[in-house]
Amino acid sequence: MNSIAMTNAPDLKNRRVLVLGLGTSGIAACRLCRAKGAHVLALDRKEGGQLNGAHEVLREEGVEIVLTRDTTQEPFDLMICSPGIPLSHPMVEQCRQRNVPVCSEIELASWYCPGPIIAVTGTDGKSTVVSLVYQILRNHDRKARLVGNIGYAFSQMIVESPPDASTLCVVEVSSYQLELTDRFRPHIAAILNIAPDHLDRHKTLEDYAQAKYRITEKQDRSDFLIRPLALPGSFESKAEALFWACQPHDLPGLHFDPGTSKLTLQFRGKTEAASFPALSRLMPHQQENFLAALAICLPLGIEPTKAVESMLAFPGLPHRLEYLGTWSGVAYYNDSKATNVHSCQAALRGMQRPAILLAGGLAKNEDYSQLSHLLERKAKLAIVFGRGHGILKEAWQSCVPVISVSTLEQATRLAVERAEPGDVVLLSPACASFDRFQNFEQRGNFFKSLVTQWVIEKES
């Protein structure tokens, strides 16, 4: 790593580190680098008022902050690049020309993590799966931390509550974070699924998949790779592969038959089978998340029956097909996290009642006609809104009645008016939220407030 010695824990003392971007991970990277004795310069194009005072706290901690610009000519030994910064950024190009290493915040944190890392990536289901694994570990009295893209930066945890060698760090990692890893080596790596997403950055599905596959690049034969039977493209891994599927297979790992409720595990020469009727009652995407989490726990020696019990007690995460309740015979679901076609497909597959789909926002570079077949079978009406409403209407109007409106509140009001007993009102946007909202959480909370105002309070 240039002039920085690449030992298990690189010595950053008195080194100059540039942190580009002061989001959650950038702030955490600043603190970890300062804790390791580095001279830290942080750049962000935002103004101070947009950072909620975080820059002032960092200044008090000894970090040099420069706002309203994100380039510098000052020399530095290492750059930490925040996930939202494209690799075409001038500072990334400059680093490559000068042979200065550039890494992500999860790479940085992994250098100072003494215990095993369990890392999970994929297009959809990451947050749910890491939360399931974390709950299983805690219920089995295993020391564990839940960090990464789920909201608590890996580096922040290293600073605030350093783990010991027996602590399992369960890390949700995105393609953006994986792009800039070099030595990141999880003991257990899981790839849940790969479907078109973030193609504005990755350009092609192959490039996107290759970014995800970096999760296993540094693993060796003592490590484990958890994966479904099929993944697009190709990659090499030295890790021991464990496969999961909702169909029979003879590979190491596990499979589940929803028809018979039979769960079969094949691990290290042993085959075990048990019946779990409760798993058959889950939606298909929930079954997949459970199987992935259970496969992750196989190398950890956790008894499968107890692991399933822990998962069945999991209440689910907000904005991930979140059941809000049923009023006047109409069920309401908040799936604001569904920001792409693949996740909207999962939500529609799980609907057992006629659905009024609310979809829209900032459309991505995806083929929305992929949803046509499901909409024809599952939806009685699609109400599209936001900047991408025209794209969705054009893709779907031949297979389902489509009404186009401007805003989410107009869409919700119309859905409440049109819904009949036995229907489902499903917010599953299949689009990003950034045309109006800061993130999918804000969009989901707004939808829930509308349901509270127009449905729940009306019923009470």
Q: Which of 115, 106, 219 is nearest to 172 (CA)?
A: 106
Instruction: In the chain, list all ranges with CATH 3.40.50.720.
Output: 16-103
Q: What is the pLDDT of residues 422-445, one digit of tens each?
A: 999 999 999 999 999 999 999 999
Q: Select the CATH number that applies to the domain covering 107-312 from these four: 3.40.1190.10, 3.40.309.10, 1.20.120.1200, 2.60.40.180.
A: 3.40.1190.10
Instruction: In the chain, list all ranges with CATH 3.40.1190.10.
Output: 107-312
CATH number of 16-103: 3.40.50.720
Confidence of residue 199 (pLDDT cuts 50, 70, 90): low
Q: What is the pLDDT of residues 119-153, one digit of tens each?
A: 999 999 999 999 999 999 999 999 999 999 999 99
Q: What is the pLDDT of residues 57-77, one digit of tens each?
A: 999 999 999 999 999 999 999
* Cα gap 419→367, rounded to integer Å: 28
**Both structure tokens of 298:** 């196989």
Q: Select the CATH number that applies to the domain covering 322-459 from these four: 3.90.190.20, 2.30.110.10, 3.30.428.10, 1.10.10.10.
A: 3.90.190.20
Q: What is the pLDDT of residues 295-314, one digit of tens each?
A: 999 999 999 999 999 999 99
Q: What is the pLDDT of residues 348-389, one digit of tens each?
A: 999 999 999 999 999 998 999 999 999 999 999 999 999 999
